[in-house]
């Protein structure tokens, strides 16, 4: 933190900086370093290992897109598993979508505690009767559980450090075994511009295990380049649900269709 600016480094020669009022917290946990800032333009900002995870102002874009797109692409979604997502933002949208059984497996208890204190509107989802919060390793959880889910949502950090094991064939194989026949698994897959390897890893890993894999994109101003990718997969053909689309703040019927239309350079990665 230099002169009250927090910066996320994209490369040796480029970073995005947020001017901050103050730093609220900095902790080194067993898994990662977590920092929290009060920024001028985006409200509270949570970073993990120097990378922006969420801000108060634009978290809705990421959280709507990682939940609502796959939701409207499944025939039914009675149950969902979230891996990561310790802030509660993804669980919150799944509750709003009416999903009755939500299991959220977060590896780092500190993320949950910090969110409870600083992002209570998000973490409040962990008090909902439909949500079961498990502090544990998602990779191990998909191996050990015998429950199956209509939606599996991987709301992880970038594929370096603790989240690396969430982007490979062996993880996707175990996750597939926990997915119902028409279910969908989705992962955040990085910035196509600055992190093409993340998108490549997710696509390749899912294609190793699933016959249907689709990439979609969203505009997220606080993430590297602003252009963000998500990759989803299913055992069965992916089709839009026959149900009226209820808009969020970013997501709507047009976004549901349009987010699958990819720029040529993105198509060339996958």
- Choose which of 71, 158, 162, 203 interacts with ligand AG3 (CB under 6 A): 158
Q: Does 87 bind ligand AG3 (CB under 6 A)?
A: yes
Q: Which one from 41, 155, 158, 182 is the annotated catalytic residue?
A: 155
Q: Does 224 bind ligand AG3 (CB under 6 A)?
A: yes
Q: How far is the CB of 222 from ligand AG3 (least distance, A)?
A: 7
Q: How far is the CB of 83 from ligand AG3 (least distance, A)?
A: 11
Q: How far is the CB of 100 from ligand AG3 (least distance, A)?
A: 22
* Cα distance between residue 87 and residue 78, in whole Å: 22
Q: How far is the CB of 19 from ligand AG3 (least distance, A)?
A: 18
Q: Does 70 bind ligand AG3 (CB under 6 A)?
A: no
CA distances from 264 to 201, 206, 226, 257 (A): 18, 21, 17, 17
* Cα distance between residue 5 and residue 2, in whole Å: 6
In this complex, which beta carbon is closest to ligand AG3, that of residue 50 or of residue 181?
Answer: 50
Piece in contact with ligand AG3 (CB under 6 A), picked from 34-42, 87-95, 139-147, 206-214: 87-95
| Residue carrying the six token digits 């992916």 | 238
Burial class of 74 by CB neighbour count within 10 A (0 to 12, 13 to 18, 19+)? buried
Nearest-CB residue for ligand AG3: 51
Burial class of 242 by CB neighbour count within 10 A (0 to 12, 13 to 18, 19+)? exposed
Comparing CA positions, the residue from 77, 79, 102 lying closest to residue 90 is 102
Q: How far is the CB of 188 from ligand AG3 (least distance, A)?
A: 5
In this complex, which beta carbon is closest to ligand AG3, that of residue 152 or of residue 180?
Answer: 152
Q: Strand runs (DSSP E) across 119-176, as ranges?
A: 131-135, 149-155
Within 25-64, the residues that bind ligand AG3 by CB under 6 A are 51-54, 62
Q: Does 155 bind ligand AG3 (CB under 6 A)?
A: yes
User: What φ, ψ does residue 55 adopt, rounded to 5°?
Assistant: -130, 155
Piece in contact with ligand AG3 (CB under 6 A), picked from 153-161, 172-180, 235-243, 261-269: 153-161
Q: Does 162 bind ligand AG3 (CB under 6 A)?
A: no
| Residue carrying the six token digits 């989240």 | 163
- How many other CB atoms are found less than 10 A from the CB of residue 22? 10
Task: Check residue 201 and give left, alpha or beta (phi > 0: left; psi -120 to 50: alpha).
Answer: alpha
In this complex, which beta carbon is closest to ligand AG3, that of residue 15 or of residue 212?
Answer: 15
- Choose which of 18, 126, 171, 223 interacts with ligand AG3 (CB under 6 A): 223
Look up residue 27 and give its two tokens: 């902790």
Is 22 among the residues known to form the active site?
A: no
Binding site for ligand AG3 (CB under 6 A): 8, 51-54, 62, 85, 87, 89-90, 155, 157-158, 188, 223-224
Active site residues: 155
């Amino acid at each position: 933190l230099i002169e009250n600016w927090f910066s996320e480094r994209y490369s040796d020669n480029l970073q995005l900086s947020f001017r901050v009022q103050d730093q609220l917290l900095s902790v080194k946990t067993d898994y990662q370093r977590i920092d929290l800032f009060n920024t001028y333009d985006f409200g509270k900002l949570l970073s993990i290992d120097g990378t922006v995870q969420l801000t108060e102002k634009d978290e809705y874009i990421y959280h709507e897109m990682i939940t609502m797109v796959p939701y409207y692409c499944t025939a039914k979604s009675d149950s969902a598993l979230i891996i990561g997502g310790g802030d509660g933002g993804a669980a919150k949208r799944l509750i709003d979508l009416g999903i009755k059984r939500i299991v959220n497996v977060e590896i780092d208890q500190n993320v949950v505690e910090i969110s409870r204190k600083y992002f209570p509107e998000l973490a409040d989802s962990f008090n909902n009767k439909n949500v079961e919060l498990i502090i544990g390793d998602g990779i191990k959880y998909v191996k050990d559980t015998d429950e199956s889910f209509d939606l599996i949502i991987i709301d992880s950090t970038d594929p370096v450090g603790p989240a690396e094991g969430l982007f490979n064939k062996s993880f996707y194989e175990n996750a597939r075994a926990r997915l119902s026949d028409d279910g969908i698994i989705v992962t955040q897959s990085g910035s196509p511009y600055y992190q093409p390897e993340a998108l490549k890893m997710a696509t390749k890993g899912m294609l190793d295990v699933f016959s249907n894999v689709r990439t979609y994109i969203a505009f997220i101003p606080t993430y590297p380049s602003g252009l963000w990718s998500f990759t989803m997969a299913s055992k069965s053909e992916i089709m839009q649900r026959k149900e009226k689309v209820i808009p969020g703040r970013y997501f709507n019927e047009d976004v549901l269709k349009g987010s699958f239309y990819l720029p040529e350079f993105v198509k060339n990665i996958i």
